[in-house]
Chains A and B, each alone.
Chain A
Amino acid sequence: AQSVTQLDSQVPVFEEAPVELRCNYSSSVSVYLFWYVQYPNQGLQLLLKYLSGSTLVKGINGFEAEFNKSQTSFHLRKPSVHISDTAEYFCAVSEGGSARQLTFGSGTQLTVLP
């Protein structure tokens, strides 16, 4: 069965600094990978996704992620964060490309400090 591990539950970072949010997954088959963002008291919205092709994926708000099959990782990065990036970030995996179920990580709270 697939699982997703987000190694850091909380990441504080100063404004304009770079950030990396880590995500590792376990699966024996091909996967599709997603990052979602959740702002306070809102639902989740899609930040970016990896389906196939280039392993470097660019998303909204200047975020990007790199799929590393050998390390089974899909880390999220941004070179310079803003206060408005403060939110919770969830990594998710769909095994075998199925639309039917995503498995979510436990989330990483990113707090951007002035």
Chain B
Amino acid sequence: DVKVTQSSRYLVKRTGEKVFLECVQDMDHENMFWYRQDPGLGLRLIYFSYDVKMKEKGDIPEGYSVSREKKERFSLILESASTNQTSMYLCASSGERTGSALFYGYTFGSGTRLTVV
């Protein structure tokens, strides 16, 4: 069964801390995405990556950075956590060349609910 695994389901951090959210996929997908989800605002794209060591800003990149050193891993970094970054964070991946993404769309992880206090 194909999987996108997010390292933590629930996380509580203090204001000002540097926070790492990890996402690993085992489908050899080229594309990986980070979203945040807030009530009434739907899914908002933070960053995405189409290849190793490649990254592009999404709609709301401020306060975040990402790292993709290996194809299967895409990390989201909160450089200095703030209370307005309390949210549900969702990682997703999709394939490109094989066409599997056209068939399945995105595969999502289970999400990380981050609380910044």
Residues of A within 8 A of B (CB): 9, 32, 34, 36, 41-46, 49, 51, 90, 92, 94, 97, 99-102, 104-107
Contacts and interface: CB of A to CB of B under 8 A. Distances in A.
A46 B104 contact: yes
A49 B105 CA distance: 8
Interface string B83-117: 00000001010111001011111111111010000
B105 A46 contact: yes
B9 to A, nearest CB: 8
Interface residues of B, number: 29
Given A44-B92, A51-B103, A94-B102, 14 more contacts: A32-B105, A44-B90, A45-B108, A46-B104, A46-B105, A46-B107, A49-B104, A90-B42, A92-B106, A99-B96, A99-B101, A100-B31, A101-B45, A102-B94
B11 interface: no
Interface of B: 4, 6, 9, 31, 40-43, 45, 48, 50, 90, 92, 94-96, 99, 101-111, 113
B111 A43 contact: yes
When A and B form their complex, which 7 residue pairs have the shortest distance between CB atoms, in order from nearest?
A99-B101, A106-B42, A43-B108, A44-B108, A104-B43, A43-B110, A34-B105
Contact of B95 (A42, A44, A99, A105): A99
Contacts, number: 62
A18 to B, nearest CB: 25
Which secondary structure characterizes the binding site on chain A?
loop
Given A106-B41, A106-B42, A99 B31 contact: yes
Contacts of A92: 105-106
A102 B105 contact: yes
Contacts of B109: 43
Nearest to A32: B102
A44 B42 CA distance: 12
Contacts of B48: 101
Contact of A104 (B31, B42, B95): B42
Given A9-B40, A94-B105, A41 B96 contact: no
A57 to B, nearest CB: 13
Contacts of A32: 102, 105
